[in-house]
A and B are shown apart, each in its own frame.
Chain A
Amino acid sequence: MLTCLCDAFAGEVGIAAVRVLEAAGCDVEFLDAQTCCGQPPFNSGDWDAARTVARRTAALFQGDVPVVAPSSSCTAMMREGYAMLLPGESTPSTFELVEFLVRELGVTAWPPSPGPAMERSIAFHRACHGRGLHLGDLHEQLLSTVPGLQMLPFAQVEQCCGFGGAFAATHGPISAGIGMEKLEHLLASGADTVVSGDMGCLLHLRGLIERHGLAMRTQHVAQILAEAVPQ
């Protein structure tokens, strides 16, 4: 499942996710009829609208094929959100990309076949929806096996970046304030790139970085993993 943010803004992340899954030995299908998981109306409190979207998406992805999204946010919606929104109804088995690689495919090191060392230093920001999925430090564990990739530590890793979906627009000053604090810690790590598993966090952080002229760029974890795969 491609997320709507990748669909609209970050096609390269979707492409990278496909490359990564294929490198792990998967056949990837993409359903052109897919739209949205329904999280925006769900989080905003319009559950009727959310239900309409969620039922359609659940029906579209029904079957035995696992659904993989490059986002813990959409995954959490389809796993936990659907359970609240559509109690008792069958919903697709959905996995976040790295969760799928590690917990479902049993991948313990990346890339699967040796590639060139990367020589990069990054700071990894855990997207908050990973909490509900119990991802813990799964991303960091996998990234730490990528040859030449150095992950720099920073303070208050548990803190949110302040995105929060519609919250970013409705509570703009608070959302931006949280983001600036996050960036302060990320910059102090010395990394030139912040990597995360959710496009929401990354678009928000990038918007702040550009507005304030900060020296940092953003990349999705799928892009890092794809980069590590030998061509």
Chain B
Amino acid sequence: MKRPPIVEASAEMPTSTRRAVGKSAAHYTAARVGALPSVFDDPEAARTRAAEIKQGVLDHLPDLLEQLEAACIASGIRVHHAQDAAEARRLVIEICRAASPAGGVVAKAKSMATEEIGLNAALEEAGFEPVETDLGEFVVQIDHDHPSHIVAPIIHKTKEDVARSFAREGLGEYTEDPEALTKQARAHLRGKFRSAAIGVSGVNFAIAETGRLALVENEGNNRLSTTAPDVHIAVMGIEKILPTEEDLALFLPLLAASATGQSITTYVHFVSGPKRGDEPDGPREVHLVLLDNGRSKVLAGPYQRILLCIRCGACLNVCPVYRQVSGHAYGHVYPGPLGAVLVPAMEGVEQFGHLAKASSLCGACEEVCPVKIPIPEMLLRLRAESKGDSWAAFAAGATHPSLWRSGLRLLPMAPKVGPLKAWSEFREPPRREGREFRKWWHSRSPVTPARSVEREPSVEHAAPRESQQEGASDAEALWARFQAQLEKLQGRIASLKELERLAGPWWVDGDAAERCPWTSTTDDVWEANVGVSLAVCAIAETGSVVLESGPAKTRLGALAPPVHVILVPQAQIVATLAEGIARMSARTSVIATGPSRTADIGGHLIRGVHGPGEVIVVRI
């Protein structure tokens, strides 16, 4: 029997890889289970609402795309349309050539859309040096490998694998310590950020109402890639729209909790056009490439709902098949249950229909999906659409009871032929034990006199959870909550006085200088040890701060120095993420939550990968 491609592709996978994938996937699955109820009073209602909002987006996609484009143009973002991967590559390269005719470094933030269109190879061919700046993607790139997971690109590599790669590339002394390895990558990539003329990113959510692009990440590389270079190009699948900014208060925590068990990612970068005349840093051009590449076809077909996907990766993590074979075996950039539907739907069942059969149909993917995509049902429909073996003989047997009974009687005696042969390759064949049911049934004495079956009403199982009432908390209670959340992430609150012993040099934003005793001791933000910013407000429920761009505000001051001090005016604290989002001005902003972090290397949590490793909040 010819083995399915996924079996072939995974046959040579080392046990250590499977163990690494399984361990991380199980970790993320458990983290998700733990996070959802702590983030949402009613996770089920949150998923239902999210599915409705995304379905509304699909139902009105052409209108929303028009609205988004108009809003982007109004904020200075240049919008481009790409029908397919080739057109998208061409558009990106044209923008790069115009921005930097001599070639040079293109700093890339992690993006599945650019993986999908094969952008790196095209950039290299056009004379540019694309540099993946996400730690995991960086390892993938230096290894000439591909990501095996849509959120955790090197889930298939151990820390020993990374250690060997870094030593081979001359990044530093050989070490297997994830923290030391992370520092080596940080040091290496710093120079790339500074020399890049162009930054390329994906988009997590584009807001039709305001034309704002929301980019989520934990490391800070995404913000650096889209802040330090002169030109920022964002590539986004056309379905990644949300109607309003308010929707983000639902989707940001839903995505973070589903993906990594966080209540919000360390950074949520809100891009509102290029740097304005009065702003000290930021790209002077922002481009948005809207990528179709088969999505319109999917939208019009029976697998439309796979476009609800927000790319959290929860279905990969929980999938028993994914855990066994890892991502590469799927033969496409989108692996796992998501890929098993999206890829054949986008690229045709002739080539990829076999992926739909690589599933035990256990349904765990649907159960964890934050937007309730009925993946198993779609896998079944894909199987029906692909040409498979005929079961006509089986149907004939199953519609003739005598034929059926004799077939079943023979089955246990024939482990070497038919369906039991393939079964027996890996397991002992099943045997009949004990009595045959039908014989027993017919040998029974007539059934006991009729007794009426008393039906009782169904038992109520899901007692509604009391929603936690946020009382009219005063500012002090909110600050206490903020502090608790921040400390969970290893951030801290301090007084100005306590900060005097921090080692300089200092970089202090103009508007922060008025509120604190220090002035800048360096005029190169990349050289500073401490960056000081003034926040718009703090968010109690997530331990976040809102930072915006402005005349006396840098973006890099919050990113480049290893220590970030954030001044928050005493009264500027809000309870919820939704209130925090509402406080943002129309300028490019960020919601920052704790220190920069990564768990890419062997699942070890390391702080300070590209952004600051130490975050200190001062109430002023």
Selecting from A115-123, A188-196, A206-214, the interface stretch reads A206-214
Nearest B residue to A7 via CB reads B408
CB of A170 within 8 A of CB of B4, answer yes
Contact A207 B408 (CB under 8 A): no
Digitize A12-49: 1 where CB-to-B-CB distance is under 8 Å, 0 elsewhere. Answer: 10110010001001111010111110101111111111
B375 to chain A, nearest CB (A): 12
Does B55 count as interface, using CB distance less than 8 angstroms? no
A53 on the B face (CB < 8 A) = yes
In the assembly, what is the distance between CA of A129 and CA of B367, in Å? 12
Q: Is the CB of A26 within 8 A of B453?
A: yes
Is B360 touching A162 in the complex (CB atoms < 8 A)?
yes
A36 touches B398 (CB 8 A): yes
Contact (Cβ within 8 A) B390 A174:
no
Q: How many residues of B contact A (CB 8 A)?
A: 83
- Complex interface: chain A residues within 8 A of B431 (CB): 9
Q: Mark B404-431, 1 if CB is under 8 A from A, else 0.
A: 1000110110000001001111111111
Interface residues of B in 339-393 (CB under 8 A from A): 357-364, 366-367, 376-377, 380-381, 383-386, 388-392
Q: Which residue of A lies closest to B427 (CB)?
A: A207
- What per-residue 1/0 map shows which CB atoms of B433-455 lie under 8 Å from chain A? 11111111110000110110111
Interface residues of A in 54-111 (CB under 8 A from B): 56, 84, 102-106, 108
> Contacts of A44 on B, CB cut-off 8 Å?
383, 388-389, 391
From B319-327, B484-492, B548-556, B612-620, the one touching the partner chain is B319-327
Tell me if B29 counts as interface (CB < 8 A to partner A): yes
Shortest CB-to-CB span from B19 to chain A, Å, is 10
Find out whether the CB atom of B320 lies under 8 angstroms from the CB atom of A47: no
Cα–Cα distance between A41 and B360 once the two chains are bound (Å): 14
Within 8 A of A (CB), among B171-216: none
Q: Are A49 and B362 in contact (CB under 8 A)?
A: no
* A154-190 contact mask (Cβ, 8 Å, vs B): 1 or 0: 0110111011111111111111111101000000000
A52 at the interface (CB under 8 A from B): yes
Complex interface: chain B residues within 8 A of A52 (CB): 395, 398-399
For B362, give its contact among A36, A128, A172, A177 (CB under 8 Å). Answer: A128
Residues of chain A at interface, number, CB under 8 A: 82
CB of B442 to closest CB in A, whole Å: 8
The answer to the question of A229 belonging to the interface, with a C-beta cut-off of 8 Å to chain B, is: no
By a CB distance below 8 angstroms, the chain B residues around A176 are 426-427
A10 at the interface (CB under 8 A from B): yes
Q: Does B102 contact A (CB under 8 A)?
A: no
- Given A12-B434, A181-B22, A103:B459 Cβ within 8 A: yes
B456 within 8 A of A: yes
Q: Is A149 an interface residue (CB 8 A)?
A: no
| Contacts A6-B437, A50-B391 given; does A102 touch B6 at CB 8 Å | no
Q: Across the interface, which residues of A come within 8 angstroms of B477, CB to CB?
A: none
Given contact pairs A27-B451, A174-B324, A168 touches B423 in the complex (Cβ within 8 A): yes
Residues of B in contact with A (beta carbons under 8 Å apart): 4, 6-7, 10-11, 18, 22, 26, 29, 318, 320-321, 323-325, 357-364, 366-367, 376-377, 380-381, 383-386, 388-392, 394-395, 397-399, 401, 404, 408-409, 411-412, 419, 422-442, 447-448, 450-451, 453-459, 461
A selection of 21 A-B contacts at a CB cut-off of 8 Å is: A9-B430, A10-B432, A12-B434, A15-B434, A26-B453, A27-B450, A45-B386, A45-B388, A47-B384, A53-B398, A103-B458, A131-B366, A160-B320, A162-B360, A164-B359, A166-B419, A169-B419, A169-B422, A177-B324, A206-B430, A211-B427
A residues apposed to B, CB below 8 Å: 2, 4-12, 14-15, 18, 22, 25-28, 30, 32-36, 38, 40-50, 52-53, 56, 84, 102-106, 108, 128-129, 131-132, 136, 155-156, 158-160, 162-179, 181, 203-204, 206-208, 210-211
Beyond the given A52-B395, A176-B426, could you list 7 further A-B residue pairs with CB under 8 A, ordered by the A residue number? A8-B432, A11-B440, A18-B441, A44-B391, A52-B399, A131-B367, A171-B6
